[in-house]
């Protein structure tokens, strides 16, 4: 392998570059990024950058030592693949870029709402810098979406004295991530911060000067910030022959899969294909010369027996080590327990595991207090944990989940018993 192209200038792309060099790859290496900034960290955007405590989150990477060509402000526009193992060409706004190894790390783009009124999203450092001066005392800020980003934006805006309203289509904040029952436990945080929370409310469109709701009601706003989710950046891969189902379909080693049947583009990108196909560990043919990682990768998890699309910093940080190794011929599998965190309304909220299909939830502590946790169980197996200002619980529970060791549910429900001591035997 003599020429590797990394497409995507986020954390996953940077870590892929570093991993390739650390594993001994000595050939030509190019990182292509649509943004003009050097790669930077995104989690601080909705926290320190938006609050004005920081203005630079550039990733600390020595590009000269990495011997990596940076093509900044260059967008990938297409992909032409040769036979598996023989590379291909990335079409870009800077011309054709041939490769014999490719890392796809193009991340995801925010979903926006219909309407001709101005709306802001928070995905890039330019987004954060543009929104920051608008968060002034008394400014009417309407946030659409009470997910992780929406809650963080509301936290910062309220702290700056803005009049903040959060509109959420679900019946509780974080319902999509945690479920309605768990998400409802965060409702009091909004009132405590002086934020008006309206759940079960659907937006029809963004109008000049605010929102129009599905029932015709209008909410006036100086700024509308939309945080209703993201979609993987896959448009440049249409027609390439790679399987695209919610993300770039990969195996547990992040090898991208090629469509054997040569279906048309519309069929490749149909997000509603059967669950049997989506959960098949090896649909199509894995390519040894193309890997995908980060927010755009739908990777097979052996641990959970399903394909996962994890749009969080921890995966972007750690998964590229495996992806780079795969590209260089190593036999490695990524099987980490998903993890993410959020800082909102003065609390550190952390989650690890996957609670889909769990049988019951156990509370550790009183959710009306400052520090508590939830544990999702199936039998005596710990599936997932949510902690609020209980970092030790998170660290210990994550280890238990990874090991798969059984726990005593009664001991786990006692907040005075360390999680590690709730392990049976």
The domain limits of the chain are 3-109+231-327, 112-228, 346-422
Tokens 């060791």: give the residue: 405
User: Over the chain, what is the mean pLDDT?
Assistant: 93
User: Is-contact 382 412, C-beta < 8 A?
Assistant: yes
Residue 187 dihedral angles phi and psi, to the nearest 5°: -55, -45
CATH architecture designation of domain 3-109+231-327: 3-Layer(bba) Sandwich (3.50)
Question: If we measure between CA atoms, which residue out of 126, 47, 92 comes closest to residue 237?
Answer: 92
Residue 425's pLDDT band (cuts 50, 70, 90): confident
What is the secondary structure of 265-330 as a DSSP string?
HHHHT-TTS-HHHHT-SS-SEEEEEEEE-STTEEEEETTTTEEE---SHHHHHHHHHHHHHHHTT-
Residue 16 DSSP SS3 = helix
368: tokens are 């009306």
What percent of the chain has pLDDT above 70?
95
Q: Using one digit for the tens of pLDDT, what is the confidence trace for 221-249?
A: 999 999 999 999 999 999 999 999 989 99
In this prediction, residue 261 carries a pLDDT of 59
Distance separating alpha carbons of residues 185 and 146, to the nearest angstrom = 13
Measuring CA to CA, how many Å separate 379 from each of 92, 357, 366, 408, 410? 52, 12, 23, 10, 12
Distance separating alpha carbons of residues 255 and 247, to the nearest angstrom = 13
Residue 311's pLDDT band (cuts 50, 70, 90): confident
User: Is-contact 192 344, C-beta < 8 A?
Assistant: no
Residue 259's pLDDT band (cuts 50, 70, 90): confident
In this prediction, residue 277 carries a pLDDT of 43
User: Is-contact 311 295, C-beta < 8 A?
Assistant: yes
- Whether pLDDT at 280 is above 80: no
Same fold, 112-228 and 346-422: no
Question: If we measure between CA atoms, which residue out of 157, 185, 187 comes closest to residue 371?
Answer: 185
State the sign of the Cα–Cα–Cα–Cα dihedral 259, 19, 338, 379.
positive
Distance separating alpha carbons of residues 214 and 231, to the nearest angstrom = 23
Q: 313-327 and 11-22 are packed helices; what angle lies between their axes, rounded to 10 degrees?
A: 40
HSE-CB at 289 with a 13 A cutoff on CA atoms is: 19
Distance separating alpha carbons of residues 233 and 219, to the nearest angstrom = 31
DSSP state of 157: H
In this prediction, residue 274 carries a pLDDT of 37
Q: Output the CA angle 129-130-136, nearest 5 degrees.
A: 95
Q: What is the mean pLDDT of residues 341-346?
A: 95
Domain spanning 346-422: CATH superfamily: FAD/NAD-linked reductase, C-terminal dimerisation domain (3.30.390.30)
In this prediction, residue 283 carries a pLDDT of 75
Query: Could you count the other beta carbons within 10 Å of the beta carbon of residue 276?
Result: 8
Q: Strands across the sheet with 76-81, in order?
A: 76-81, 88-92, 95-99
Residue 4: alpha-carbon gap to chain centroid: 25
Distance separating alpha carbons of residues 387 and 10, to the nearest angstrom = 28
In this prediction, residue 363 carries a pLDDT of 96
Distance separating alpha carbons of residues 65 and 344, to the nearest angstrom = 38
What percent of the chain has pLDDT above 90?
90
- Whether pLDDT at 275 is above 80: no
10: enclosing H helix or E strand: none
Q: Using one digit for the tens of pLDDT, what is the confidence trace for 360-412?
A: 999 999 999 999 999 999 999 999 999 999 999 999 999 999 999 999 999 99
In this prediction, residue 282 carries a pLDDT of 60
Question: If we measure between CA atoms, which residue out of 250, 258, 269 comes closest to residue 319?
Answer: 250
User: Is-contact 104 81, C-beta < 8 A?
Assistant: no
354: enclosing H helix or E strand: none
Q: Using one digit for the tens of pLDDT, what is the confidence trace for 71-92?
A: 999 999 999 999 999 999 999 9
pTM: 0.91
217's CB contacts (< 8 A; 6+ apart) are: none
What CATH number labels 112-228?
3.50.50.60
412's CB contacts (< 8 A; 6+ apart) are: 362, 364, 375, 377, 382, 419, 422
Tokens 């870590």: give the residue: 15
- Whether pLDDT at 273 is above 70: no
- Whether pLDDT at 266 is above 60: no
Q: Using one digit for the tens of pLDDT, what is the confidence trace for 8-52?
A: 999 999 999 999 999 999 999 999 999 999 999 999 999 999 999
Residue 361 DSSP SS3 = strand
């Amino acid at each position: 392998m003599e020429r590797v192209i990394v497409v995507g200038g986020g954390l996953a792309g940077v870590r892929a570059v570093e991993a390739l060099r650390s594993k001994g790859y000595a050939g030509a290496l190019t990182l292509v990024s649509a943004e003009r900034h050097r790669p930077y960290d995104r989690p601080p955007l909705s926290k320190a950058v938006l609050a004005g405590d920081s203005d630079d989150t550039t990733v600390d990477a020595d590009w000269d030592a990495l011997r990596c060509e940076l093509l900044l402000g260059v967008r990938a526009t297409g992909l032409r693949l040769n036979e598996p193992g023989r590379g291909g060409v990335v079409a870009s706004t800077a011309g054709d870029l041939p490769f014999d190894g490719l890392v796809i790390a193009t991340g995801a783009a925010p979903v926006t709402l219909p309407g001709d009124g101005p709306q802001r999203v928070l995905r890039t450092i330019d987004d954060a810098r543009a929104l920051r001066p608008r968060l002034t005392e008394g400014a009417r800020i309407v946030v659409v979406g009470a997910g992780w980003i929406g809650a963080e934006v509301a936290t910062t805006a309220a702290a700056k004295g803005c009049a903040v309203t959060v509109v959420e289509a679900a019946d509780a904040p974080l319902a999509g991530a945690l479920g309605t029952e768990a998400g409802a436990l965060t409702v009091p945080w909004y009132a405590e911060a002086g934020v008006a929370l309206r759940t079960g409310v659907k937006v029809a469109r963004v109008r000049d000067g605010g929102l129009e709701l599905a029932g015709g009601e209008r909410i006036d706003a100086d700024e509308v910030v939309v945080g209703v989710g993201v979609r993987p950046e896959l448009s440049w891969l249409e027609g390439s022959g790679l399987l695209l189902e919610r993300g770039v379909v990969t195996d547990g080693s992040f090898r991208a899969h090629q469509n054997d049947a040569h279906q048309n583009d519309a069929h490749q990108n149909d997000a509603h294909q059967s669950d049997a196909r989506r959960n098949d560990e090896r649909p199509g043919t894995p390519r040894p010369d193309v890997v995908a990682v980060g927010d755009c990768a739908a990777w097979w998890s052996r641990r959970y027996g399903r394909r996962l699309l994890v749009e969080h910093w921890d995966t972007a940080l750690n998964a590229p080590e495996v992806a780079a190794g795969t590209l260089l011929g190593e036999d490695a599998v990524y099987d980490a327990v998903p993890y993410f965190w959020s800082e909102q309304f003065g609390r550190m909220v952390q989650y690890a595991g996957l609670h889909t299909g769990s049988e019951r939830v156990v509370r550790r502590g009183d959710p009306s207090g400052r520090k508590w946790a939830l544990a999702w169980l199936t039998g005596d197996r710990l599936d997932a944990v949510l902690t609020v200002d209980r970092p030790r619980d998170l660290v210990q529970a994550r280890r238990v989940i990874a090991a798969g060791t059984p726990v005593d549910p009664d001991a786990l429900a006692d907040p005075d018993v360390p999680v590690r001591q709730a392990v049976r035997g």
